[in-house]
Structure 1
């Protein structure tokens, strides 16, 4: 039978650190429930007395916007459930929220939702003159294959922003997964591509903005590769109930994205995201 897993994750754009106050975790954003590798018949698992529920969350630091030099806090609540006789699924914290429509086991294809960071002058005063970008989401398709079961995963996500001008972003990745006693380690490369609309949104400097902010020269980004990087995750099963996780991802902006004055004059081509989290699993009946 296909496994059923539902995630509820609230993703938030990193917020600026206050210069004279302690930073706080900002968790306003998007709350999504998404069934994964599920069919209608499997919803009965919700009413099974032995269903295993997992709840937890992550907190970490990441770029405030694409190309930002400064980091801000982000938060990620987590909820999933599975059948009592099913082991924990492996997943990467940077996966989009997905629902499998075709396939199962080592090959899956389905719908996916990803979160796209916004940008405003409150993130960095040097962004003055640039258009404000509200945080949004992208909707599209994902494909995932395990050429070596439980060891090597290949995954691709292609999404279109909910507004036409948000553009299309494709995310490609591979993960090598190893289990060593109570530890599970994973690592792999990441590659991101954007169409012209997506690249314009994040990296263009309009002429009007350059007139307001002379430190930024007019710039027109082009479609193509946006970033290349890698990610690594380590988890430890403290017990059948408790699992701790650590996550790090490095991205380097490349080609047209790296040449944007937003990146060269305000930010950096190097982006680092780190997070830690914990998940608690339990059954509704003792």
Structure 2
């Protein structure tokens, strides 16, 4: 088991815009908060486009203000701060942490330029078209790891099958610009000579489409467990990359289990 290149570090800073300046003179952070800390173990690709899966582990972290109107959250949600929270619509800033990807990740990557440690920063918006569905979109720009833009769109239907068990699932779509694909899938002449892969100059567009599903069980009012599965089919520039065509796979499957424990606290 190893820690993955990209931690599944998630969070939701669920502060309504109306509370940014407290009416009673208190600071925006004043009030009751919760912190969820946990971990997940999953069987997933060694890297984007990898043909083989390996057992990995990652931390799960979520921070929010008590009383938020959030009705649903997914393990795919990246860290976010809601400037607008109107119940059925939320929007704000989001970020994602990216860890280094190099030949230590997989021998398939020998000779390729590493993806540097860094992250992505951008915005998100989510809407509940019905009481049982959430649609969320994120658009993020790379910071140090790459210089491109990546966008994720996911729709999740959810239903409570009992007082403490929820099932959810739906389609996913990811798109990106050429600079993003160049960092993860491009192969220039120097890299081709060092790696043995054919040269490849990517273009922007669709990255992948897929489906995800999860079962969440609230074991207690503080302890929550989850079982999940995600399938993605690489498309466009990702599928056309020589890294995927010659050494990888368009089919990306991830299955895992996780658990988080909630801590409640109050800030003055």
Q: Partners of 1:112 and 1:28 in 2: how far apart?
A: 16
1:1-286 equivalent positions in 2, closer than 5 A: 23-25=1-3, 35-38=13-16, 39-40=19-20, 41=22, 43-46=29-32, 54-72=36-54, 73-83=56-66, 89-116=71-98, 118-149=100-131, 151-163=132-144, 165-181=146-162, 182-214=164-196, 216-281=197-262
With normalisation by structure 1, the TM-score equals 0.79
State which drifts further: 192-201 or 112-121: 112-121
Give the C-alpha shift of residue 202 in structure 1.
Answer: 1.0
Aligned alpha-carbon RMSD (Å): 2.7
Q: Is the 8 A contact 2:223 2:259 kept in 1?
A: yes
Range 271-280 or range 114-123, more displaced: 114-123
In 2 relative to 1, CA 52–110 (structure 1 residues): closer, same or farther, beyond 3 Å?
A: closer
Tell me the secondary structure at the aligned position of residue 254 of structure 2: strand
1:58 to partner: Cα distance = 2.0
* Residues in 2 aligned to 1:26 and 1:213: alpha-carbon distance in whole angstroms: 23
Relative contact order: is structure 1 or structure 2 higher (C-alpha 8 Å, sep ≥ 6)?
2
TM-score normalized by structure 2? 0.84
Work out the CA distance in 2 between the residues paired with 1:159 and 1:28.
Answer: 15
Secondary structure in structure 1 of the residue aligned to 2:192: helix
Q: More deviation in 32-41 or 159-168?
A: 32-41
Q: Give the structure 2 partner of residue 15 of structure 1.
A: none
Displacement of 1:194 in angstroms is 0.5
Which residues of structure 1 form unaligned runs of 5+? 1-22
Cα 1:228–1:279, aligned 2, differ >3 Å: closer, same or farther?
same
